[in-house]
Structure 1
């Protein structure tokens, strides 16, 4: 990956150098969060697969979101956890580029999938008579597959551009994973073209997916307002409340990070924002969907009752 253009063969991930005294606490905290995130999303995944009432496009797309969240956090957190308990904070140049690519791909895939989920809610609320014909299982499969494929294509150019930069030292990445901004700060060659390309591509991806999501919700809200009964309005809004909450949290953090020129960012602020969408948001998704969605809550209660009954019989 451009070995003849770089003197750096590995990077040192500094993580949170000012917080080294509380690394044991941070290890325990992020381990709990990681286990909760993976377990919660797996439970949702299994619940959707095993309950007939959840075999509909909305929950089918939710299953893909859960899979993305598990992979998303697994690309970042295990390496971060190891840096809290070992002195080895190095990562090879190639592995750094792989981490950057996987993380970027999964983030882009999630943008596309959240847009697909918004379209699903738009059809369900604004076009209920056409929903079953337009949003079939085959359609939801195509939308989910398109989100994965589109997401893994989107970062190819940015990662390729970064991998071709000249890194001649220092090789200390002032971050807790390999992300574009801290890597660009280490480059010895000009990064102006690369920064511009990344900003344009990231802004295009985020803005287009966010705009389509916002447009969907403008139509959704206008339709809900026209429902005569308060009960009907509440029921209609409850079907999209979970997705809207996730969208607001997710786009709020990534917009603050990636839709501005790289030079305007403070790395410390970037770390906080990154923790929000790499660690906190994936943890919140299972909670949001299980608490805000009646069908999911009912199905989860069945699962827990079944598990409890099995343990009591033993």
Structure 2
């Protein structure tokens, strides 16, 4: 039997292992730690027997207790829907004006609309509804189709250029690259910029004004303030949906981008769309 080696500095027995003159001390873990470790193993075995744990080919072990997080969530959602049922029924039977006039209903609708907005609308309009290029800011008072609660409901319910919905909002700006000459497009862009800023070439404003009157005023108005019935945006308020600047305006005139918004009524139902309309109206830009 080999003689035990004791480390001279610590006085602890070594394991007999040595690497490059360095010996490994034999310092076992405290017994309480070892027994705790064994207890965690037993606990883990018991847990996997009692609860869902082991994945199978197409399912997983269900556990002897029959509990599942999915069933638990389903129960909680059912309870929440039952608790909200009375308020949702009231919203379904009330007009938007009645909902907003009732403090309790209005508060419930705004909270529900905020939740629905985060799930369905924030991907395009942003979590704070401030929008992006091509997606309107819902916090300001600039509305292409109108900012009353009824207008907002119509837009959410039936969407913008949503195929298959006869009531969807539709506006089509012609591609003036096929109608006007490149120089004429620059002149119109200079005129539009001149409404709220300073164009690169002031000499283009007057001819651009005439071209605008001949081609654009029918939809955007003689003063370029827009026409909500036609979905023609206001060009005189320095709020730009498709991009800011003379070059971006010229590009939109030449080859306009037409956005699409889903019709949410078939997906969410009337009560949820009403809540969304009340929420968006409450953001500060409603009329």
Instruction: Compute the TM-score of the two structures, normalised by the length of structure 1.
Output: 0.23
Q: TM-score, normalised by structure 2?
A: 0.24
Q: Which has the higher helix share?
A: 1
Larger RCO: 1 or 2 (CA < 8 Å, sep 6+): 1
